[in-house]
Amino acid sequence: MISNGDRIAVGLSGGQDSLTLLWLLRERLRRIPVHYEIYPIYIDPGFEPGFGAQLKDYCSQWGLELRLEETRHGILAHSTENRENPCFLCSHLRRKRLFEIADDQGCRKLALGHNKDDLIETLFLNICYAGEICTMVPSQSFFQGKFTVIRPLAYVDETVIRKFAKENRFPVFDNPCPTSKTSKRKEVKEMLNRLYQDNANVKGNIFRALSHVRTDYLLKDHSKRRKGSGNRHESIQSRESGHDAPSAL
């Protein structure tokens, strides 16, 4: 995922996943003989009260300068001009801006804090709301290889990250977006948590299934991306809810 000399943009959300990621990338520099540079970025969606200034202060305590970008992406996504799901537009605009800023900073890698639970939730979101079986992957190339998105926490359980963040007293920023408490991702998360409570093997089995796909036992695609049924036929590559309590990209 990471090579000597990389300049890595790190997309922060204010959530504990991305702070854990930032902490790990910074800490790892002290422990391994691979040198890289990290550039944290936060795209503020524009809701009040925001926490960009506090996040910037926090990064500076770690010796890192946060590129804080104030936008109105979230407001626009909730306006009457937008007829899509607000998270769809908001996260699309955020991703676009993240790539632009990463490019501006000479970074060819963009690190995001998605964890194992996010990958599973995205699988179910894509099945239910995009009609596709796919999710986010740990390392993914974009724009003919110009950028690589890396997700170093892709194999880490959310509970492990929460525990780590708590032990290290990472700050908790509340996402002021009105959709953050009601998103489809949240519904899927609650459904999955019920399954996990009933059987402790379920999460591991779903995650394992992501790399054990028996395509012979799936239907052939004759639809060529059907229109209709009210679904937007576009995979959800990033977290629908931009902030995990605040959640990520």
Residue 237 engages ligand SF4 in binding (rule: CB under 6 A): no
SS3 content of the chain, % helix, strand, coil (to 5): 40, 10, 50
Amino acid, single-letter form, for residue 229: S
Q: Which one of 27-35, 114-122, 129-137, 236-244 is the stretch in contact with ligand SF4 (CB under 6 A)?
A: 236-244
**Token digits of residue 71:** 């936008």
Residue 18 engages ligand SF4 in binding (rule: CB under 6 A): no
155 vs 136: CA distance, rounded Å: 12
Binding mask 61-80 for ligand SF4 (x = CB under 6 A): -------------x--x---
Of 66, 183, 186, 245, the one binding ligand SF4 by CB under 6 A: 183
- Please report how close the Cβ of residue 50 comes to ligand SF4 at its closest, in angstroms: 11
Positions in 128-167 near ligand SF4 (CB under 6 A): none
**Token digits of residue 196:** 């996990």
Of 111, 149, 243, 245, the one binding ligand SF4 by CB under 6 A: 243
Q: What is the dihedral of CA 39, 183, 132, 232, to 10 degrees?
A: -100
Residue 95 engages ligand SF4 in binding (rule: CB under 6 A): no
Of 16, 18, 20, 91, the one binding ligand SF4 by CB under 6 A: 91
- Please report how close the Cβ of residue 185 comes to ligand SF4 at its closest, in angstroms: 8
Which own/partner contact pairs does 105-108 have at CB distance under 8 Å and 24+ positions apart?
A: 105/7, 105/9, 105/39, 105/67, 106/7, 107/7, 107/8, 107/9, 107/39, 108/6, 108/7, 108/146, 108/147, 108/148
Closest residue to ligand SF4, Cβ-based? Answer: 242
Q: Which is nearer to ligand SF4, 57 or 84 (CB)?
A: 84
Torsion sign over Cα 238, 155, 163, 24: negative
Please give the residue ranges that form the binding site for ligand SF4 (CB under 6 A). 45, 74, 77, 86-87, 90-91, 177, 179-180, 183, 241-243
